[in-house]
Amino acid sequence: MTEHNDLVTSTQEITKEALHKLGFDDGMYELIKEPLRFLEVRVPVRMDDGTVKTFTGYRAQHNHAVGPTKGGIRFHPDVNKEEVKALSMWMTLKCGITNLPFGGGKGGIICDPRQMSNQELERLSRGYVKAISQFVGPESDIPAPDVYTNPQIMSWMMDEYSKINRSNAFAFITGKPLSLGGSQGRNRATALGAVITIEEATKRKNIDIKGSRVAIQGFGNAGSFIAKILHDMGAKIVAISESFRALHNPNGLDVDRLVELKEQHGRVTQLFDDSIPKEQLFEVDCDILVPAALSNQITEDNAHQIKAKIIAEAANGPTTPEATRILTERGVLIIPDVLASAGGVTVSYFEWVQNNQGYYWPEAEVNMKLREKMVEAFNTIYDLAEDRKMDMRLAAYVLGIKRTAEASRFRGWA
């Protein structure tokens, strides 16, 4: 079984358990376990050398009972059907947890954007939108950026959809640049959302963020912003890691310098002679551990070494079910991915609302509204977990799936 299938299976298992806890039967699980619609498209693209290459793309629309589906588009050689389906289900959970009027969606194209010119990427982006245009839109399915897609790609997609529909369809897609209807605060939203859940968790665990020790796996978009925000709040970032190496300083790393170096060089750990093997990040003494890189990183092999009291899953699927069991038994508080990384889709929702209103909010207002959503989501899930003696992940699934299941039942779908 592949890693992707493992992720799908474990997502389905927890969803089934959550539905049973809510009193729904297997009929509801049959409805929810797969996307209601799954598109596979073939996109021919004229390459710069004059040849035509045909790319395969997918779009999963998990469930639209509570509103349009919403979720990113990934450009990556490893994109595959099972993963796109699972990610669309996770988006339903994230939207349910933060009480957004959306179901989950996800898209992907099998391609290697690092090997393609800007012109080729533009033609691919436009071709993909043309292929799915009848099935997406501001009222039905709203895409966003994901791995290796960015505001420029969102702009081409918005422009293509607008041409097809002969109007400026800003609300068709989120993660756009500010000049094209993007929202203030969108680029830091995932990180800020994760930090807000960490703040709430530290209150429950009687840990003072000021002076707390934090280790972060991954120093990319999510990880570097999380490091910066926590550092500015007075936390000590004692370790960070990237694809090859890690940095460790029990007295705290110079985060501002690391962020500067990242802007200049892309990566930072290779610039230091005293870097350590990346695997050692999980062994360092710390209060808070933030996996912000890949899935399946915390496993039964390394869970015993972890010293943190709180784990905030900024990455999607970083902890295996076995590791979750081991850590929960030890009393470690795991803030599950569907909660800790829900800040991005929350501010995407704000972007869509602003596009529909034609009225744009200052960054302080966006951040305040994000805080309200994340604080409420964290505390509802924490209290549910305590009251019903569940781990935080199951409690997050219970909250995340509740509205979609209820709305599906009212509609007579199951």
Binding site for ligand NAD (CB under 6 A): 190, 217-223, 241-243, 278, 292-294, 314-316, 341, 344
70 is in an annotated binding site: yes
Cβ nearer to ligand NAD, comparing 143 with 218: 218
CA geometry: angle 116, 122, 124, nearest 5 deg: 75
| Residue 110: CB minimum distance to ligand NAD, A | 17
Copy the structure tokens of residue 385: 């977990």
190 is in an annotated binding site: yes
Kindly name the residue from 106, 228, 236, 278 that is annotated as catalytic.
106
Cβ nearer to ligand NAD, comparing 191 with 207: 191
**Surface-to-core class of residue 57, CB atoms within 10 Å of its CB (0-12 exposed, 13-18 middle, 19+ buried):** buried
| Residue 343: CB minimum distance to ligand NAD, A | 8
Cβ nearer to ligand NAD, comparing 293 with 310: 293
Copy the structure tokens of residue 322: 């076995």
Q: What are phi and psi of 372, to 5 degrees?
A: -55, -45
Copy the structure tokens of residue 115: 């090997």
Cβ nearer to ligand NAD, comparing 19 with 315: 315
The amino acid that residue 344 corresponds to is G
C-beta of residue 90 within 8 angstroms of C-beta of residue 115: no
* Spatial distance between the Cα atoms of 86 and 324, rounded to a whole number of angstroms: 19
Q: Which residue is nearest to ligand NAD (CB)?
A: 220
Whose CA is closest to 286, among 238, 222, 227, 336? Answer: 238
Query: Among this protein's residues, is 278 annotated catalytic?
Result: no
Cβ nearer to ligand NAD, comparing 74 with 123: 74
| Residue 220: CB minimum distance to ligand NAD, A | 2
**What are the b/e assignments for 357-390, b being 16+ CB within 10 Å?**
eeebbeeeebbebbbebbeebbebbbebbeeeeb
Cβ nearer to ligand NAD, comparing 222 with 398: 222
C-beta of residue 402 within 8 angstroms of C-beta of residue 22: yes
| Residue 242: CB minimum distance to ligand NAD, A | 3
C-beta of residue 88 within 8 angstroms of C-beta of residue 106: yes
Q: Partners of 142 in the beta sheet?
A: 70
Cβ nearer to ligand NAD, comparing 194 with 405: 194
348 is in an annotated binding site: yes
Q: What sign does the dihedral 249-253-259-265 (CA atoms) show?
A: negative
* Spatial distance between the Cα atoms of 369 and 89, rounded to a whole number of angstroms: 24
Please name the helix (run of DSSP H) or strand (run of DSSP E) that holds residue 371, with its range, or none.
Answer: helix 363-387
Whose CA is closest to 90, among 366, 297, 396, 306? Answer: 396
Whose CA is closest to 107, among 38, 157, 60? Answer: 60
| Residue 316: CB minimum distance to ligand NAD, A | 4
Q: The sheet that has 103-110: what strands, in order across it?
A: 37-46, 52-61, 103-110, 69-76, 141-145
| Residue 385: CB minimum distance to ligand NAD, A | 22
Q: What are phi and psi of 361, to 5 degrees?
A: -100, 150
| Residue 9: CB minimum distance to ligand NAD, A | 19
Enzyme catalytic residues: 106
Cite the annotated binding site by residue number.
70, 94, 190, 221, 348
Cite the annotated binding site for NAD(+) by residue number.
190, 221
Cite the annotated binding site for substrate by residue number.
70, 94, 348
